[in-house]
Amino acid sequence: MKNGRIYEDLSLIGGRAHKTFNVFVVLFIILLLCFWKIQILDHENYWKKSEANRVREIVLPAQRGLITTRNNEILANNIASFKVSIIRENCKNIDESCQKIAQLLNLEVSVLKERINRYETLPAFVPIVVKDNLSRKEVSIVESRKLEFPELIIQAEPKRYYPYGDFASHVIGYLQELSLKEIKMDIYKEMRFGDLVGKIGIEKEYEAKLKGEEGRVIEIVDSLGKKKDEIARLEPLKGQNIMLTLDFDLQKKAEELLEGNEGSIVILDPRTGEILALASYPNFDPNKFINRFTPKEWIDLINSPEFPLENRAIRGLYSPGSIFKLVIALAALDLNIITDRTLFFCSGNIVIYGHPFSCWFKPGHGNINLYNGIKHSCNIYFYQLGKRLGIEEISVYARMLGYGRKTGIDLSGEKDGLVPDPSWKERVKNAPWYPGETISVSIGQGPLLTTPLQVACHTAIIANRGRKITPHLLMSDNFISSERERQEWVPDKILVKIKKSVFEKVIKGMWKAVNENGTARAARIDGYDVCGKTGSTQTVSKETSEKLEKEVKTHSWFTGFAPKSDPKVVITILVEYGGLGGSTAAPMANKLFDLYRKKYD
């Protein structure tokens, strides 16, 4: 019996021991898994943390290259600046830290948290910039309270600075912080979170040239983060400087003339394609983009009804109006549909395809030939040409002369514009082309759309008597911006296949429009042989205006070149809702031609 009782007691103990053993086995397996996760899966993370306790790598930002005008005025410079970043792994309680840091740096807690949350997927030891452009006082405050705020670090960086504020802002562009989505793109694979990159304009187009190469310093630090020694140093390389073709005085004058209006001015050299001025108004101050935006500030900017970020010179789409009559004249002459002596009678009104069409000059121009048709911008003269040409021929010559396709300028975001034809209407609107629509297109109305830069390039082709140019902003003797432009520079593609004598006749009409009391007479300069053409395009039809009981508002156009025999400058102006081209755009052109002549000719 005694032996039996002993056996039963041992059995109970053995069962318990077995269970205990299993528990220890499970705990041991869990422990092994933890060690495996720490040493294998999270090895790199913990290795970096351990190294950070004694070794610190500091990135030395490279200075961006300068951007200057052709006259060496600096449009984009660099100045010394400081920023403060937070390291989340040094925070005992992130919410408490945010409250204290917001008070220290005079920030709103919500803004601070929003910025930290934006990068919550980053490792906790990666610094997140919470405020930049610190004053000396702010730097001193943070440094003096380093023991109280171990999660904050001060970093020095070169800051982009635009000394002339909003001057040429659509050309220069601006810098902005990379988003989490952009950082994953191949073009930004060498960039880090928080880096600023060019988002539009020259800053974006030549980012690779401007950004330079970052340097590195590896230091030995103590437990408080104080530097004890320096192991290695790689100095940063400054980015390349970029000289633009912009002329400071012409750009400044163009922006002054546009102030208070919405519109664009393009001034270029037809011999080389160099852009001397490219103004778009309203504009913006790129310095504001250097200091990191709050979401509300950014939304307010992009939702502004004036669209200050829109570069109207390359992205604004407008009907060219009477400017397009030059295309109609060139096509009709080149196809021998008319000669320069062919007469049409303008009574002020005409019926074509059963629909009434009118001339802008209600009494009518009487019998009128090519030269006076251009000089007085007679609608009925060009209605007749458009009817004889047909929409197919009009579209062919429009594309040949630079409409309906990008110009190739070294700025991203340029729009193609639109040259309509029957196939386009069938494809887009699933409807046939009606002959009456051709009559509207013949005076630059209807679905025809263009940018001011396209009009300037079209004018340069006329000034060059058929030679194409590629507009560009980078100062270079041999500017070729892409493979498509390389093809454009093949010799047999440089010239438009229109006889030189045809261009001479149209140029004579443009000269008369300026110098013989034509519609562009306000652009005249004694002794300078300015050639030009005005245009006024309706934003709504007369019928729609009458229904809405609103005044018909028109955009004001001028495009021209000088001198006639040896063209050196092309000027194109578009003023939204500016009224008649002869009363608004042409006087602006006069001031710009006069300035160019005094400075260069």
| Catalytic site positions | 322
The H-or-E segment that residue 541 falls in is none
Vertex 524, ends 521 and 528: CA angle to 5°? 150
Q: CB of 342 within 8 A of CB of 370?
A: yes
Handedness of CA 102, 105, 110, 115 (dihedral sign): negative
Q: Which residues pair with 280 in a beta bridge?
A: 264
Residue written as token pair 């047999």: 492
The H-or-E segment that residue 15 falls in is helix 2-36
Between CA 240 and CA 246 the distance in angstroms is: 18
- Burial label, 89 (beta-carbon count in 10 A; 0-12, 13-18, 19+): exposed
In 3D space, the residue among 410, 440, 118 whose CA is nearest the CA of residue 293 turns out to be: 118
Structure tokens at 512: 């008369």
Structure tokens at 43: 């090895």
Q: What are phi and psi of 49, to 5 degrees?
A: -65, -45
- 3-class DSSP state of 378: coil
Give the C-alpha distances (Å, rounded to integers) separating 488 from 364, 470, 496, 592: 43, 8, 11, 30
- Cα-based torsion angle of the residue sequence 573, 578, 583, 586 in order, rounded to the nearest 10 degrees: 0
Q: CB of 471 within 8 A of CB of 278?
A: no
Give Cβ neighbours of residue 342 (< 8 Å, ≥ 6 apart): 369, 370
554-562: strand order across its sheet: 275-281, 263-268, 569-575, 554-562, 531-538
Single-letter amino acid, residue 475: M
Q: CB of 397 within 8 A of CB of 330?
A: yes
User: 10 Å Cβ neighbour count for 65?
Assistant: 18
Between CA 547 and CA 558 the distance in angstroms is: 30
- Cα-based torsion angle of the residue sequence 10, 11, 17, 18 in order, rounded to the nearest 10 degrees: 150
Strands (E), 382-493: none
Q: CB of 555 within 8 A of CB of 583?
A: no
Q: CB of 407 within 8 A of CB of 454?
A: yes
Between CA 60 and CA 232 the distance in angstroms is: 12
Between CA 69 and CA 166 the distance in angstroms is: 15
Give Cβ neighbours of residue 438 (< 8 Å, ≥ 6 apart): 386, 387, 389, 390, 391, 394
In 3D space, the residue among 314, 271, 281, 262 whose CA is nearest the CA of residue 452 turns out to be: 314
Between CA 423 and CA 323 the distance in angstroms is: 24
Estimate to the nearest angstrom the gap between the alpha carbon of 103 and the chain centroid: 38
Structure tokens at 32: 């092994």
